[in-house]
């Protein structure tokens, strides 16, 4: 049996494991926030862990510059390392809806492409609404002579092109 396995077996037999409450308190002190708070650990350290007691102390550091998890490392020769996820504040950008610029404006000449399984046909038309790429807008095919055509809804593919996919 290797020396590390002997130590692990001896620790397991004696019930001497690292105190997980101490690890939780040290993570809270490192982050400046308690468990569950913004900036603190998401959850307590998993109580099923059976870690060797750390005789040389714990070293705590941020895993990345994003500060999304804390690295807890035992400084012993055969020490262990834990990654503790941290609750981050909600992204400010996610709170504000992002408005995309219009790719097609009302009155623009557009190509109306009708696509199906293995084919695409197109014809000129006019946008009756404005919208960004991906938006569904009303368009009207260009009139042929005195025939007035009904508007239809199509998805903006890119500036100047709207698509009406067939099922």
**In the chain, domain spans:** 3-94, 109-165
Band the pLDDT of 86: cuts 50, 70, 90: very high
User: What's the token pair of residue 104?
Assistant: 């097609």
Q: What is the spatial distance between Cα 119 and Cα 59, in angstroms, rounded to a whole number?
A: 63
Q: What is the spatial distance between Cα 64 and Cα 135, in angstroms, rounded to a whole number?
A: 38
Q: What is the spatial distance between Cα 119 and Cα 72, in angstroms, rounded to a whole number?
A: 59
Band the pLDDT of 143: cuts 50, 70, 90: confident
CATH number of 109-165: 2.30.30.760
For residue 43, the SS3 value is coil
Q: What is the spatial distance between Cα 141 and Cα 127, in angstroms, rounded to a whole number?
A: 9
Would you state the pLDDT for residue 98? 67
What average pLDDT is seen over the chain?
Answer: 83
| pTM (2 d.p.) | 0.47
Averaged pLDDT, 21-50:
91
């Amino acid at each position: 049996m290797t020396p590390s396995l002997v130590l692990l077996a001896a620790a397991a037999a004696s019930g001497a494991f690292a105190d997980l409450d101490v690890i939780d308190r040290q993570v809270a002190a490192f982050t400046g926030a308690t468990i569950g708070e913004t900036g603190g650990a998401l959850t307590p350290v998993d109580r099923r862990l059976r870690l060797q007691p750390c005789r040389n102390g714990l070293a705590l550091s941020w895993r990345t510059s994003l500060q999304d998890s804390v690295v807890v490392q035992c400084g012993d020769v055969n020490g262990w390392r834990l990654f503790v996820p941290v609750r981050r504040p909600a992204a400010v950008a996610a709170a504000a809806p992002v408005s995309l610029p219009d790719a097609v404006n009302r009155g623009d000449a557009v190509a109306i492409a009708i696509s199906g399984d293995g084919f695409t046909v197109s014809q000129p038309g006019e946008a009756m609404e404005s919208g960004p790429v991906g938006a569904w807008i009303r368009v009207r095919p260009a009139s042929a002579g005195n025939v007035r055509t009904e508007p239809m809804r199509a998805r903006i593919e890119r500036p100047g092109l709207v698509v009406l996919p067939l099922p």
